[in-house]
Structure 1
Amino acid sequence: MARVYISAVMDVPISEAWGVLRDFNALPVYHPFFSKSDIEDGKPADQIGCVRNFFTHEGGHIREELLTLSDRDHTCAYRILEATLPVRNYVSEMRLKPITEGNKTFGEWWAEYDVSEADAASVQQIVGDTFRFAFEGAVKVARARRTA
């Protein structure tokens, strides 16, 4: 089983970072990889069990199911149901924690999955970049919302 772990210090308060990242349907809003996302069956984007169906700009397709979402703990977990990404048994969790010094946020995002040896390095890079760019994009959106 492969594992990718990314952490970041986000220069926004946890309420602002969580306000962006908790929306299970907002990937195209804050992430440069993704072009379109919809929650299937018209369910709310924060309902456990909802499925987001989204696409990359290059035509990649992923369907993920929301497993947990906690506003109290600033965490969410999800699993891939199907994807053009060559992984199996993919489960991921994201967690935010407040950094009191400077009113910043510590973000952690990790995933575990099965992948062939031939695809392992490229998938690790893609997943790591996905998490890293998500944190960076969330900061940009949170700051932009301050002035909106």
Structure 2
Amino acid sequence: MARVYVTMVLDADIEQAWGVLRDFNGLPDYHPMFAESHIEDGRPADQVGCVRNFVDHEGGRIREELLALSDREYLCAYRILEAGMPVRNYVSQMRLWPVTESGQTFGEWWAEFDVDPADEAATVERVTETFRQAFQSVSARFSR
């Protein structure tokens, strides 16, 4: 099983960062890799069990199911249902913590998944870069 773990201090307070990252359908609004997204079956984007169907700028489609969303714990967890990546049993969680001394936010994002050894290095790098770019984009939005 492969594991990706990315952390970053975001130049935003926790409410600002969470306001962007909690939107399960909002990837194209802040993430440079993604072009469009919709929630299937007209369900709300904050309803556990909803499925987001999104496309990157190269036309790759991914479907993910929301497993948990907590405004109290600033936590979002999801799993991949379908993707153009060679992953199986992919589960991910993003969580935010306030940095009380600076008013910034500490973000952590991890994923665990099965992948064939021949594809592991490239897939781990792709997932790592996806998480890193998400945090960088949110941080830049609120940069002081």
TM-score bracket, shorter-length normalisation:
over 0.9
CA contact (8 A) 1:20 1:141 kept: no
Q: Could you tell me how far apart the structure 1 residues matched to 2:41 and 2:57 are?
A: 23
SS at match of 1:119: helix
Corresponding residue of 2:87: 87
Runs of 4+ in 1 over 6 A off after TM superposition: none
CA RMSD of superposed structures (Å) = 1.2
Corresponding residue of 1:146: none
Is the deviation greater in 132-141 or in 41-50?
132-141
The offset of 1:16, in angstroms, is: 0.2
Q: Which amino acid aligns with 2:111?
A: A
TM-score w.r.t. the length of structure 1 is 0.94
Corresponding residue of 2:137: 137
| Matching of residue 56 in structure 1 with residue 56 in structure 2 | yes
Q: How many residues align?
A: 144
Q: Could you tell me how far apart the structure 2 residues matched to 1:142 and 1:29 are?
A: 14
Unaligned runs of 5+ in 2: none
Superposed CA offset, 1:50-84 (max 9, x none): 00000110111100000000000000100000111
Q: Could you tell me how far apart the structure 1 residues matched to 2:74 and 2:88 are?
A: 26
Identical counterparts, % of pairs: 64
Q: Could you tell me how far apart the structure 1 residues matched to 2:54 and 2:141 are?
A: 19
SS at match of 2:36: strand
Unaligned runs of 5+ in 1: 144-148
CA contact (8 A) 1:62 1:83 kept: yes
